[in-house]
Structure 1
Amino acid sequence: MPVLALTATATSRVADDIQDKLGFPEKNVIRMSFYRENLSYVVRTTENKLQELKHILNNVPGSAIVYVRNRRETKVIADFLNSHDIPSVFYHAGIDPILKDERQRAWTEDRYRVVVATNAFGMGIDKPDVRAVIHMDIPNSVEAYFQEAGRGGRDGKRSYAVLLFSPGDKRIISKRISDNFPKEDFIRNIYEKLGFYHEMAVGDGRGCSYSFSLGEFCRHFSLPVIPTDSALRILTRMGYIEYSEEADFSAKLLFTARRDELYLLRQDTLTEQIMNVILRLYGGIFADYTFIDEQLICSRVGTDRRTLYTVLTNLQNQGIVRYVPERKTPLITWTRQRVDTDKLRFDPEVYRLRKEEFKERIGAMTEYITRATGCRSAMLLKYFGETQEMHCMHCDLCQEKVSGHMTRGEKETITNAVTELLKEDGDPREVYSLPYPKKKIDIILHSLVNEGMIKIENGTVIYNNPD
């Protein structure tokens, strides 16, 4: 049987590993270049990331994605941007699925300019006119960064991938190694405490599942949250448990009104349609709670899940039904019987080798953000196995090289003066009347052309519409 493996961001080593795992008789890779000519990569060092974020969004018009690692920060930053008249919405995996769909649609339709999100935002996103992708925190790998940054500029127009970096970030990213791969003794301790928590005797437990609150578990045993979460994931890879951070629980419904009473109740047309579809699909719904497929009901009626939720909630308020909405709840399943902690076996591929690979990815990401010379695009291409020498002339390092080492403030002052004069006159020769050195004016003109802000045709400046 022919097999085709597809991936957007794989290094040469990962591509080889995929082919080995799938049993390809010989290496056969069709690869396009990772180079994005219209995407400018920037690492901006700052002591105040929020103010820098506001500065960027005030200077780069159009839609934007702001990535953070913390769910709470999505709302904090969205509130900050809204307070500065930048319409924003927040998004993360813990939001109700209906709300997530609504917020994604609202951003796609430009009802919000900015979405502030964790990495839960991205799958299936294909908005072509994203002008900026800004990372407030450093991703764990170049692969993750490249994939998220690549959501900018899919329409081929100039866009910016900006990573905000503060001096303390190097220590934070280095600590992620021990957070993601705690010591073996710590993992054994978590396994033992999990047995106590579920009152599970050695030799028992195989196939048992329990709802699980990580926060409650950590409070009960005074444990650090992030390493504990990582230990549970490692135990899952080792095959001792299955830790599902957000297991799906379907919606449940029970009709408390009798069938004959329903005919006497007056409801609007949509509510009656929904009730009729439910009664046709599910028998026994008057006797006990019945799991329902909300998406199926919506497709049969021709409505959306938010409307269905509102209708069923109203019916519950009227005493006609009892409704438990669809929810996502963490779940732990013991996939093997509990063993003594000293019998836990740490497969090198599950723990030691993965830890080394993680350290390498962290190291590559650290090098990317701290490199002071070269070209950001070239660094990314080299990571993914493209070895040609190049300078994109759009990233911050290339721009610094051609900027004559102007300070940021000086560059902004000259840029503003040049653009204002060109808007009035349209003749690029007039800019040399400005009180700045000719070399620096040339650099600014070159930068404006490279960034796609202006074109010079037949001696006249043409401004490109950023939208």
Structure 2
Amino acid sequence: LCNYFQISYGEGHQTVHQFNFKDFCKTYKLPATKTYNGLLVLDRNSIISLNQRFSYRTSIQFICSNEEVFKYIEKHPNAEPAIKSLLRTYGGIFDFETKVNLELVASKANMDEKMLIAQLKTFQRDELITVELRNTDAEITFLKPREDEHTINPIAKFVEQQNQLKHDQANAVLDYIHNDTQCRSAQILSYFGETLKDDCGKCSVCLGTKPQNTSHSASIIQQQIIDLLRDKSLTSRQLVEALDCTTTEVMHNLTQLLESEHIILNATNSYQLK
């Protein structure tokens, strides 16, 4: 940042600078996400004050008639791409001051932003438009003078701790995703320093590890389902919990019973005897 704004060593305290984030990243070939997070770290530690103004755009309004615009294009053919891009992108630009995205307009006009800005200034000079240029998206105030090592060293440990914390949190999420042997509820409680006496019996891990009785044939499972449904209607989850079978086995046999019209699915999404 100091090099970007050409701030000398020992200088810069309480100076305010208009900041073009995209240009900064492009100049030093920095990844946008990491750079933005780095700026936030400096802001949180009172090294700089970052005033984000991403919602602001350059404001433009045409102050002449349609006929005058087309006459201008006839006299200045090079102006056609920029003018037509503005007119096609922003309706009402003749009637009121309109905030425009220079990057978008430049892309549609097939030119770079610097060339577009130069043309806009020409249009304003020729009394075609009024323009208020804002080609920055943030404002940075340096709260401390440039003293490189003395500025960064005091916060270095804190930054390392924060990075390690984020790293640990990301690993905890990955461990939770890939751990298919421990009850999900137990994993979550363990992360927060608590313990679960018994597995919940309802999560994907618990249901997936429910002991199977391979001696059960389809007919036996179906008969067990019918016996359970004699008393009351039950959901598929309730049937899985009640039967000594896997979820896949229960769902497969429920499908067969539905097809053979031994059971039906009622309005509450529960199974009952027909």
Q: Which residue of 2 aligns with 1:422?
A: 258
CA distance in 2 between counterparts of 1:405 and 1:255 reads: 79
1:389-426 CA distances to partner (integer Å, 9 max, x unpaired)?
243333221111116399xxx97687356325325514
Larger helix fraction of residues:
2
In 2, are the aligned partners of 1:238 and 1:350 still within 8 Å (CA)?
A: no
In 1, are the aligned partners of 2:49 and 2:143 still within 8 Å (CA)?
A: no
What is the aligned counterpart of 2:41 among 214, 224, 234? 234
What is the aligned counterpart of 2:30 among 211, 223, 235? 223
What is the letter of the counterpart of residue 455 of structure 1?
A: S
Q: Which residue of 1 aligns with 2:92?
A: 315
Q: Which residue of 2 aligns with 1:372?
A: 180
Could you say if the C-alpha distance between residues 256 and 244 of structure 1 is closer, same or farther in structure 2, counting changes exceeding 3 Å? same
Deviation at residue 350 of structure 1 after TM alignment: 3.4
What is the letter of the counterpart of residue 237 of structure 1?
A: R
Could you say if the C-alpha distance between residues 249 and 224 of structure 1 is closer, same or farther in structure 2, counting changes exceeding 3 Å? closer
1:330-384 CA distances to partner (integer Å, 9 max, x unpaired)?
4241232441312223336731332332233233223212223121123223333
Q: Secondary structure at the match of 1:418?
A: helix
The range that moved more, 199-208 or 392-401, is 199-208
Q: Which has the larger radius of gyration?
A: 2
Long gaps (5+) in structure 2: 65-89, 103-133, 215-245
Could you say if the C-alpha distance between residues 340 and 218 of structure 1 is closer, same or farther in structure 2, counting changes exceeding 3 Å? same
CA distance in 2 between counterparts of 1:322 and 1:248 reads: 16
TM-score (norm 2): 0.51
What is the letter of the counterpart of residue 234 of structure 1?
A: V
Q: Secondary structure at the match of 1:347?
A: helix
CA distance in 2 between counterparts of 1:412 and 1:372 reads: 17
1:205-237 CA distances to partner (integer Å, 9 max, x unpaired)?
6241323224x3233223344443333232222
1:56-455 residue pairs with structure 2 within 5 A?
A: 194-202=1-9, 203-204=11-12, 206-214=14-22, 216-243=23-50, 247-249=54-56, 256=63, 313-316=90-93, 319-324=94-99, 330-344=137-151, 345-347=153-155, 350-402=158-210, 404=212, 415-416=251-252, 418-422=254-258, 424-427=260-263, 454-455=269-270
1:48-102 CA distances to partner (integer Å, 9 max, x unpaired)?
xxxxxxxxxxxxxxxxxxxxxxxxxxxxxxxxxxxxxxxxxxxxxxxxxxxxxxx
Between 1 and 2, higher relative CO (CA 8 Å, sep ≥ 6) is seen in 2
In 1, are the aligned partners of 2:12 and 2:145 still within 8 Å (CA)?
A: yes
Q: Share of identical aligned residues, percent?
A: 19
Q: Secondary structure at the match of 2:182?
A: coil
CA distance in 2 between counterparts of 1:333 and 1:373 reads: 50
Aligned length: 185
1:38-49 residue pairs with structure 2 within 5 A?
A: none
Q: Secondary structure at the match of 1:421?
A: helix
TM-score (norm 1): 0.32
In 2, are the aligned partners of 1:240 and 1:336 still within 8 Å (CA)?
A: yes
Q: Secondary structure at the match of 1:223?
A: coil
In 2, are the aligned partners of 1:243 and 1:330 still within 8 Å (CA)?
A: no
CA distance in 2 between counterparts of 1:456 and 1:412 reads: 16
CA distance in 2 between counterparts of 1:232 and 1:219 reads: 16
1:50-61 residue pairs with structure 2 within 5 A?
A: none
Deviation at residue 323 of structure 1 after TM alignment: 1.2
CA distance in 2 between counterparts of 1:423 and 1:400 reads: 26
In 1, are the aligned partners of 2:48 and 2:144 still within 8 Å (CA)?
A: no
Could you say if the C-alpha distance between residues 227 and 252 of structure 1 is closer, same or farther in structure 2, counting changes exceeding 3 Å? closer
What is the letter of the counterpart of residue 419 of structure 1?
A: T
Could you say if the C-alpha distance between residues 212 and 393 of structure 1 is closer, same or farther in structure 2, counting changes exceeding 3 Å? farther
